[in-house]
Chains A and B, each alone.
Chain A
Amino acid sequence: MINQSLLIEEMEAQQVVNERPDFMRRFWKSGTTKLGTILLVFLILFSFVGPLIYRHSAIKAHLLYTDAPPSAQFPLGTDSLGHNILAQLMVGGQSSLEVGFAAAFLSMVFGVFYGMISGIIGGWIDTVMMRIVDIILAIPSIFILLFLNVAFQPNLIIMILVLASTAWLGVSRLVRAEVLAIKNQVYVEAAHALGARTWRIMNRYMLPNFLGTVLVAATLGIADAILAMAGLSFLGLGLPPPTPNWGGMLSDAMNYMFQNSWWMIYPPGLAILTSQVSINLIGDGLRNAIETRER
């Protein structure tokens, strides 16, 4: 038993080794992908390592320094309550990235299971499962998100669940389509004829076929989740204060537009923009690398 699993592992490892450098080379070849990766790494370091270096409280109100433009003491200035904007930006990045990655991962896992079950079982169960998806998709997701955020007091976990609740729909459709395409292949029938269980066919035949496509969708899903969370926070339905977040910072700054307080608007705006651009560039790079392999 040990021997056989060792050999299988060895073979699989060999295959991965053969594929990986090729895949990574294609991924890295494009300059825009590099740019995206660098931006995302910067964003992660800024949010998670930044506060360890720049040790200033994000929630302490410096009441003597409200609405202060950038200075030596506050590199990005302060907001109307005297919060240090640089420190806020870092902490806000933490929740954005955590929620974005977690929501995308959760929706990917759930969407894969849902789509796979729907596609494999087929018949009326498939019809019902897919109509449910259609119905939820027919409602603009912003309404669903607003409703859920009003109904539940959002904290980090609930925020993740709420964002994932609409993001899995697309993934499940994608997966179902792939499953249907593979299900009727003759080589799948051959596996049945050999006595393979459905689980094996899902695991060995279906999953490897659509994992790449789903990975691309999930990557782009991270950006969507970050943007959706910023949008909700902007509308005042995000994580409750005093936890800072990018959308909330923008929304506060809107009230001081007339004072020309550009230091309140540009930093969170640029942070949101950077997260979107970097993740989308990476997603595109992944897609190109995967599609080339399949060609």
Chain B
Amino acid sequence: MSEVLLEVNHLNKYFPLQRGIFRRSAGAVRAVDGISFEVQTGETLGVVGESGCGKSTMGRSILRLIEPTSGTIKFAGQDILALTDSQMRAMRREMQIVFQDPYASLNPRYTIFQTLSEPMEIHHLYHAAVRRKHVESILDRVGLAPSYASRFPHEFSGGQRQRIGIARALMLNPKLIILDEPVAALDVSVQSQVMNLLEDLQQEFNLTYIFIAHDLSVVKHISNRVLVMYLGRMAELASSDDLFADALHPYTRALLSAVPIPNPRAKRERIILRGDLPSPANPPPGCVFHTRCPIAQDICQQKAPEWREVKPNHYAACHLVAL
């Protein structure tokens, strides 16, 4: 459990903005700005933040589906940003992704068998008969009948399609799977089924997850640790229990106060954030959160807060958190 599988250091992804016919550079959208964290083998790191905070961009950057602007990403001790294209293709067997939208993530012209055997075709694995068996066993494993292999995606419901998406990620037997809001597009009743499936698979195949979500309640029951992001930056990182019991960053507190409690009589203080998310092309000076922070002071407008270990293994970026 203590072995580090993924180490991300000062990861940046800036999308350049261009203006006019000569494509003059006009600044950049800082989608991911100075993210650093480690993920240990077998753990689940939850990543939470509102829409547009760069969490999906971060996930795709780790897989080099988007080339990061700078930073290092070490997977099992190897710097994957230094790999050549063909080395990276081989590395993709180890790290996979499940997408948010199960309707868009499957090729409508492929049967389920084609979709699931393609990973093995790409990496020249196994003979045909073995491939078919493998597809059938994985289908069975994610709770779908093996006979579904000959059908097309449009014949399935959203939950079933997401199971197929998960099966595709599992085909190459990866170590790390990035789950990019895998249940956000599903009905609540189906969500919990898929969450349970993900937990079972993690146990069985000793998988490491990076679980991206915009909803803290979804992340709570699957994550060991949770990273809270705001405007491309890290706001807080702590074990799941710590974070839910004792959130330090005012943004995390605001998020927590928005999690519904299934008890109509429960009363609690809601922290309502005013205003919109500032533009990541033109982030506020000082602490990026100060424009919406309910407890902001003068210092927040002038100086960006440091990333500090406030309590053992509980990090936050806020001036006003007492040491």
Report which A residues bind B (CB closer than 8 A).
3-8, 11, 15, 185-187, 189-197, 200, 205, 208-209
Contacts and interface: CB of A to CB of B under 8 A. Distances in A.
Contacts of A194: 92, 96, 118-119, 122, 168, 172
Contact of B131 (A4, A191, A193): A4
Contact of A190 (B108, B114, B131, B168): B168
B128 interface: yes
A56 B117 CA distance: 61
Contacts of B119: 194-195
Given A185-B104, A190-B97, A205-B107, 14 more contacts: A11-B113, A15-B111, A186-B104, A187-B105, A187-B107, A187-B108, A189-B99, A193-B63, A193-B65, A194-B122, A195-B123, A196-B118, A196-B122, A209-B109
A191 B60 CA distance: 13
Contacts of A187: 104-108
A191 B111 CA distance: 15
- Which 8 residue pairs spanning A and B have beta carbons closest together? A7-B128, A4-B128, A195-B92, A195-B89, A186-B104, A186-B105, A187-B107, A194-B119
Interface in B101-138: 101, 104-109, 111, 113-114, 118-119, 121-123, 127-129, 131-132
A5 B128 CA distance: 8
Given A194-B119, A195-B92, A3 B106 contact: no
Given A4-B128, A7-B128, A192 B65 contact: yes
Contacts, number: 66
B74 to A, nearest CB: 19
A89 B93 CA distance: 64
A210 to B, nearest CB: 12
A5 B127 CA distance: 9
Contacts of A186: 99, 101, 104-105
Interface residues of B, number: 34
A197 B128 contact: no
Contacts of B132: 7
A78 B111 CA distance: 62
B89 A197 contact: yes
28 contacts: A3-B128, A3-B129, A4-B131, A5-B128, A6-B128, A7-B129, A7-B132, A11-B111, A15-B111, A185-B104, A186-B99, A186-B101, A189-B65, A189-B99, A190-B105, A190-B106, A190-B165, A193-B63, A193-B92, A194-B92, A194-B96, A194-B118, A194-B119, A194-B168, A194-B172, A195-B88, A195-B123, A209-B109
Contacts of A205: 107
Interface of B: 60, 63, 65, 88-90, 92-93, 96-97, 99, 101, 104-109, 111, 113-114, 118-119, 121-123, 127-129, 131-132, 165, 168, 172
A196 B114 CA distance: 14
A6 B96 CA distance: 29
